Amino acid sequence: MSDLATLEAEILASIAAAADEAALETVRVGALGKKGSVSALLATLGKMAPDERKAQGAAINAVKDKVSEALNARREVLKSAALDARLASESIDVTLPVRESPAEQGRIHPLSQVMDELTAIFADMGFAIAEGPDIETDDNNFTKLNFPEGHPARDMHDTFFFHPKQDGSRPLLRTHTSPVQVRAMLSQKPPIRIIAPGRTYRIDSDATHTPQFHQVEGLVIDKGSHLGHLKWILAEFCKAFFEVDNVTMRFRPSFFPFTEPSLEVDIQCRRDKGEIRFGEGEDWLEILGCGMVHPNVLRNCGIDPDVYQGFAWGMGIDRIAMLKYGIADLRQMFEGDVRWLNHYGFKPLEVPTLAGGLST
């Protein structure tokens, strides 16, 4: 074999043996680079006689072409092998669970969710949000609301009282959100349109009662307000809140010292294997108390009952949260069990709106 043929065979063997692109590049530089073996041969052509140069030139260039071709072919093979290896090592198991980002890990308590939902609904109707303190005066919680001293309705409230103050007054944990009505009437001029969601307290504990619970109060005071308005507001609220097209409501006569007449409202429902559906069925579920604000209450709060009238309602938030989200035991709501919260809670970035959906 001529020297040239040996050189060619050697280079082609090294190309075939190159295990990766870096090794191949080393072979290329060794053959075709400036100081490479084939380049060195080409450099000898200049010193040859013309005939010899012609023959040798053609032979060396043929080797150069073959080497280039072999290099390109081997490079393609190595490239696709490298890609295959990378794809194999970087493959993803799409059946693995997705880890949530930290911003999505916490959960909104169903009660906070329901408060956000009802705030969205009533805000959309033009109600403002009012607040009052958990520790109230006897006067705001009872007397101004037309509970006479010694009236049995006071006892029905199972009140947590604090020790009497020096002046004899007894602060208490508010037993309902109705004192916020009083605060609103004392501090604002009519027309008044407020809702007041918040914590309330009574000495009571079983599967449907906890010593601390939540109510939302509603109050409208204006010159021409009447029960028809109240009925419409409550129906619209129920439809929006329970996310149904129709609700049937039943108004029953009742008694509250601060309203006259007083009513209790039931909504029609069907209980089906532990699930409740609204707007159909034969059952009735009590959801709130309401009525026209008693003239004594208006008077107690500095509003002339001959000019203004109004209506009010009070609803248990825990109860409607349990109804809507199928929570069986009220006490679980306040146990702070993170497993319970992960099950019943809501994603923090999904804020309830009427347009975007309340609970999707």
Closest contact distance (angstroms) between CB of 238 and ligand DAH is: 16
Q: Which stretch binds ligand DAH (CB under 6 A): 56-64, 65-73, 242-250, 288-296?
A: 288-296
Query: Between 198 and 289, whose beta carbon lies closer to ligand DAH?
Result: 289
Closest contact distance (angstroms) between CB of 312 and ligand DAH is: 3
Query: Between 255 and 348, whose beta carbon lies closer to ligand DAH?
Result: 255
352 contacts: CB under 8 Å, gap ≥ 6: 113, 116, 117, 120, 358, 359
Asked if 210 and 177 touch (Cβ cutoff 8 Å), the reply is no
Q: Which stretch binds ligand DAH (CB under 6 A): 121-129, 190-198, 287-295, 324-332?
A: 287-295
Closest contact distance (angstroms) between CB of 104 and ligand DAH is: 37
Q: Does 217 bind ligand DAH (CB under 6 A)?
A: yes
Query: Between 21 and 266, whose beta carbon lies closer to ligand DAH?
Result: 266
Contacts to ligand DAH from residues 257-276, by CB under 6 A = 259
Query: Between 64 and 176, whose beta carbon lies closer to ligand DAH?
Result: 176
Closest contact distance (angstroms) between CB of 335 and ligand DAH is: 24
Asked if 268 and 248 touch (Cβ cutoff 8 Å), the reply is yes
Cα 327 to Cα 70: distance, rounded to the nearest angstrom: 74
- Residue from 14, 113, 146, 178 binding ligand DAH (CB under 6 A): 178
- Residue from 18, 38, 312, 323 binding ligand DAH (CB under 6 A): 312
- Report how far apart, in Å, the C-alpha atoms of 358 and of each of 51, 216, 239, 333, 352 are: 93, 18, 12, 20, 4
Asked if 310 and 222 touch (Cβ cutoff 8 Å), the reply is yes
Query: Between 110 and 289, whose beta carbon lies closer to ligand DAH?
Result: 289
In the numeric block, which tokens belong to residue 256? 């509250």
Q: Does 116 bind ligand DAH (CB under 6 A)?
A: no
- β-pairing verdict for 135-136 and 128-129: unpaired
- Residue from 36, 190, 257, 291 binding ligand DAH (CB under 6 A): 291
Beta bridge partners of 201: 212
Residue in the shown chain whose Cβ atom is closest to ligand DAH: 314
Query: Between 64 and 294, whose beta carbon lies closer to ligand DAH?
Result: 294
Q: Does 290 bind ligand DAH (CB under 6 A)?
A: yes
Contacts to ligand DAH from residues 22-41, by CB under 6 A = none
306 contacts: CB under 8 Å, gap ≥ 6: none
Cα 63 to Cα 15: distance, rounded to the nearest angstrom: 14
* Nearest-5° Cα angle at 128, 213 to 246: 75
Residue window 122-141: x/- pattern of binding to ligand DAH, with contact defined by CB under 6 A: --------------------
Dihedral sign, CA of 206, 207, 209, 213? positive
Strand spans (E) along 273-332: 275-278, 283-293, 309-316
Closest contact distance (angstroms) between CB of 107 and ligand DAH is: 29
Tell me the three-class secondary structure of 88-122, residue by residue. Answer: HHCCCCCCCCCCCCHHHCCCECHHHHHHHHHHHHH
Phi, psi for residue 326 in degrees, rounded to 5: 65, 40
Query: Between 290 and 327, whose beta carbon lies closer to ligand DAH?
Result: 290
Q: Give the footprint of ligand DAH on this chain (CB under 6 A).
A: 176, 178, 217, 256, 259, 289-291, 312-314
